[in-house]
Structure 1
Amino acid sequence: MGGVARSRPGRAGSRPERAWTRDSSRSALRAAHPGCEAQLHRRRYHLSLALGIGANTAIFSLWNGVLRSSLPAVHKPEQLVMLSNPDEAGMWTGRTDGERDWLTHAEFEKLRDHANNFSALMASQTSLSTWQVRFDGGEWEEACGRLVSGGFFDVLGVSPAIGRVFTTAEDRDETPYAVLSYNYWQRRFGGRPDVLGKTFTLHSAVLTIIGVASRGFISETSGQQPDLWLPLRMQPSVFPGRDWLHDTPPSKTMWLHVFGRLKPVVSQAQAEAQANVIFKAGLESFYGPICVTGTPAPVSGSAAQDPAGRAWSVRDAP
């Protein structure tokens, strides 16, 4: 989204290659479409991911009462958890053994497919984007939106007002579909039902409107108001010339918030333990074997010194 690309703030032990964008949630959203501005109110539960000196760290945040009360139309928000830092939005491309705020697409997929202590997981682009779109060959206009995974609406428990919302089928292929917010549907199209099937252009992509989110649902983040949502798999078309879906060692593209819904019979500790095993296995697959002390085992290539194992423990941070 808008904002000047800049280097990630220095953190002990980090080894940046390049950074596209990094903004705090507040400053990033103020630069976007006026309807996208957010006032974020959270009490964070930090998750320390460390197994030795130089180990990566990240945030695993639980929704608190203040945030739950400001997420209308979300089903049982007390069951939702985040595996990323809710107070940061942007992107980081490179390698680092410093703090991790976001996850890559591959990391999300591995957790989604194997972390069965969650009833479901979904991912969303950390930053809202302001796009130039054109409906049915008309004039170019501004719309605020976000890329999300196919399970986005299902995890949040949000049903369509009309049409349908995304499903996990949208995670398998590049499907040129869009779901509108209820407010945008009313404001831009007067609430007309014939909006279904209408097409619009974004860059060279032609997308079809398949549904409208339920009345009252605004966003997964307090205060943010996207006009529309697009599938994550549309990233190459929405941001041409960039590949944020695949990582090539030693570089990763971290740009996603990941949300999960805990199963009723699963404790937070159980979910953390399982996610830790899956996440560490993903690091080993990407970089090579990782010792339990947090010091990577000797492997060839520059990436050998960067990864580290992670142990998760929750501590309350006001």
Structure 2
Amino acid sequence: MRELLHDLRYGWRMLLKTPGLTAVIVMMITIGVGANSAVFSIFAATLLRPLPYDKPGELVHLNGIRKQGSFQEQPFSYPNFADIRDRNQVFSQMGAYSGTSASLSGKDGAQQIVTPVASAGFFETLGVKPILGSTFQREHEQGQSAPVVMLTHGGWQRYFGGSPDVVGKTMVLNGELSTVIGVLPQSFQFGPSQSGEIWQSMRIKGWGARRNAFWLNPVARLKAGVNSQQAQAGISALARQLEQQYPDDNAGIGVQLVSLEEKLVGSIRPVLQLLMATVAFVLLITCANVAGLLLARSAPRQKEISIRVALGARRGRILRQMLTESVLLALFGGTVGTMAAVWLVPAIIRLIPQVELAAMPSLQSLHVNPGVLAFSLGLSCLTGILFGIMPALQVLKPD
């Protein structure tokens, strides 16, 4: 420990001897570490962190597939969704959602807002329990039933000031009086419908009740002991039955199961992987440039090092001392880079298309967390060793 403290003091003095060069190197490291830390924050939140639902690995998304022509994905009709929900043998729970908007009337007039709709069983499938009231039930889906809504935590605060007796109160949506039956927890987020603070229960009537009206997106939870391949086989068989039973509406329509995580973040994964590889390459270039600067700085110290070795100093001891200088530089740059990452993260998120961003609930409240700080610290130390080892070995080479 005493030797380490001595090395730190010695390294600090050596850095102060060349303040201009030290500042340039710290700035270069700041850019490299800051960019990597910011991108890693987004990468980890999107691809490494599990979805914020109960046992997210069991959740799947059902895509309708037109098997002829361009093999394109499409939503489900309500009758097809209901048949698969009621007749399948591979799901323990199943629900559906759809994005929509509505006119909300109030004392300041009407405004158009995002109001996603959900079926009975949707929140139960995700494992989300309301903090007040209840969730949507099958009877709410009847075309002639009175409209009911659930509020997100933000909607509860915005429209009712967080009143604990909000259940039973009403809102006017599309000219109809809608009753609040529940409030969702603050932690609830759901991809494509993230911006909606009012969830409506679906009501099946008119166009929405037709088998050839495709507007629903089903999600389901696999039964215990059923894997995704078994589930796909079971649902494909059921889709073929529906195709034979309703050839006019279901001809050429199949069902594809994907994990809910893949549905929400799959399209952004290649972009983030490419971005992560790019900033890693930038960091390698930074290390090479800093190594060149350190090598130029250490050339005049060749004579000093030779004298110390001649007087009995161990080469390993000198190597450690020089690496301590490099790691100090890297830690200074890494500290500033981490602070820069706090600003860079929201800047990068603003560049993500709104459609993609809405589908990634983990990015809605992203910040530089302890995991990212640990990544930055480790990356800084590794960077210091990478750009410091070659100049140190070069200086220590015997004449």
TM-score clears 0.5:
yes
Q: How far 1:149 sits from its partner (Å)?
A: 0.6
Q: 1:101 aligns with which of 38, 56, 74?
A: 74
Equivalent residue, structure 2, for 1:160 = 130
Aligned partner of residue 278 in structure 1, secondary structure: helix
Aligned-partner Cα distance in 1 for 2:71–2:57: 30
Q: How far 1:181 sits from its partner (Å)?
A: 0.6
Aligned-partner Cα distance in 2 for 1:146–1:275: 26
Q: How far 1:268 sits from its partner (Å)?
A: 1.2
Aligned-partner Cα distance in 2 for 1:193–1:122: 28
Equivalent residue, structure 2, for 1:253 = 213
Q: 1:244 aligns with which of 208, 212, 225?
A: 208
**Superimposed CA distance per residue, residues 108-160 of structure 1 (whole angstroms, 9 cap, x where no aligned partner):** 101100112110111111xx32321125x773234321111111111011111
Give the partner amino acid of 2:163.
Answer: R
Aligned partner of residue 221 in structure 2, secondary structure: strand
Equivalent residue, structure 2, for 1:191 = 162
Equivalent residue, structure 1, for 2:7 = none
Aligned partner of residue 76 in structure 2, secondary structure: coil
Closer/same/farther in 2, CA of residues 140 and 68 from structure 1, 3 Å limit: farther
Aligned-partner Cα distance in 1 for 2:87–2:162: 40
Closer/same/farther in 2, CA of residues 153 and 68 from structure 1, 3 Å limit: farther
**Superimposed CA distance per residue, residues 169-214 of structure 1 (whole angstroms, 9 cap, x where no aligned partner):** 4345634111011111112221112322111222242210111011
RMSD: 3.5
Count of residue pairs brought into register by the alignment: 217
Closer/same/farther in 2, CA of residues 139 and 309 from structure 1, 3 Å limit: closer
Equivalent residue, structure 1, for 2:186 = 215
Closer/same/farther in 2, CA of residues 156 and 175 from structure 1, 3 Å limit: farther
Q: How far 1:276 sits from its partner (Å)?
A: 0.8
Closer/same/farther in 2, CA of residues 312 and 256 from structure 1, 3 Å limit: closer
Aligned-partner Cα distance in 2 for 1:167–1:184: 21
Q: How far 1:243 sits from its partner (Å)?
A: 1.2
Closer/same/farther in 2, CA of residues 106 and 313 from structure 1, 3 Å limit: closer
1:72-111 equivalent positions in 2, closer than 5 A: 72=52, 74-84=53-63, 98-111=71-84
User: For the Cα contact (< 8 Å) 1:176–1:208, is it kept in 2?
Assistant: yes
Aligned partner of residue 63 in structure 2, secondary structure: coil
Closer/same/farther in 2, CA of residues 309 and 203 from structure 1, 3 Å limit: closer
Higher helix share: 2
Q: 2:105 aligns with which of 130, 134, 141?
A: 134
TM, length-normalised to structure 2: 0.48
1:299-314 equivalent positions in 2, closer than 5 A: 303=248, 307-308=251-252, 310=254
Give structure 1 regions of 4+ aligned residues with deviation exceeding 4 angstroms.
95-98, 309-318
Range with bigger deviation, 172-181 or 185-194: 172-181
Closer/same/farther in 2, CA of residues 175 and 262 from structure 1, 3 Å limit: farther
**Superimposed CA distance per residue, residues 70-90 of structure 1 (whole angstroms, 9 cap, x where no aligned partner):** 743x211111001127xxxxx
- Structure 2's unaligned 5+ residue stretches are 1-44, 271-399
Aligned partner of residue 195 in structure 1, secondary structure: coil
1:118 aligns with 2:91: yes
Closer/same/farther in 2, CA of residues 184 and 274 from structure 1, 3 Å limit: same
**Superimposed CA distance per residue, residues 283-317 of structure 1 (whole angstroms, 9 cap, x where no aligned partner):** 11111xxxxxxxxxxxxxxx49x823758698998
Give the partner amino acid of 2:246.
Answer: F
Aligned-partner Cα distance in 2 for 1:283–1:70: 35
Aligned-partner Cα distance in 2 for 1:309–1:142: 34
Aligned partner of residue 282 in structure 1, secondary structure: helix
User: For the Cα contact (< 8 Å) 2:169–2:179, is it kept in 1?
Assistant: yes
Aligned-partner Cα distance in 1 for 2:120–2:255: 29
Aligned-partner Cα distance in 2 for 1:124–1:313: 16
**Superimposed CA distance per residue, residues 17-66 of structure 1 (whole angstroms, 9 cap, x where no aligned partner):** xxxxxxxxxxxxxxxxxxxxxxxxxxxxxxxxxxxxxxxxxxxxxxxx94
User: For the Cα contact (< 8 Å) 1:83–1:258, is it kept in 2?
Assistant: yes
User: For the Cα contact (< 8 Å) 1:273–1:312, is it kept in 2?
Assistant: no
Aligned-partner Cα distance in 2 for 1:159–1:179: 12
Aligned partner of residue 271 in structure 1, secondary structure: helix
1:255-270 equivalent positions in 2, closer than 5 A: 255-270=215-230
User: For the Cα contact (< 8 Å) 1:175–1:231, is it kept in 2?
Assistant: no
Give the partner amino acid of 1:69.
Answer: R
Larger Rg: 2
User: For the Cα contact (< 8 Å) 1:123–1:258, is it kept in 2?
Assistant: yes
Give the partner amino acid of 1:245.
Answer: A
TM, length-normalised to structure 1: 0.59
User: For the Cα contact (< 8 Å) 1:130–1:142, is it kept in 2?
Assistant: yes
Aligned-partner Cα distance in 1 for 2:255–2:216: 21
User: For the Cα contact (< 8 Å) 1:150–1:167, is it kept in 2?
Assistant: yes
Aligned-partner Cα distance in 2 for 1:141–1:178: 17
Aligned-partner Cα distance in 2 for 1:223–1:208: 20
Higher strand share: 1
Q: How far 1:165 sits from its partner (Å)?
A: 1.5
Aligned partner of residue 168 in structure 2, secondary structure: coil
Identity across matched positions, percent: 27
1:69 aligns with 2:49: yes
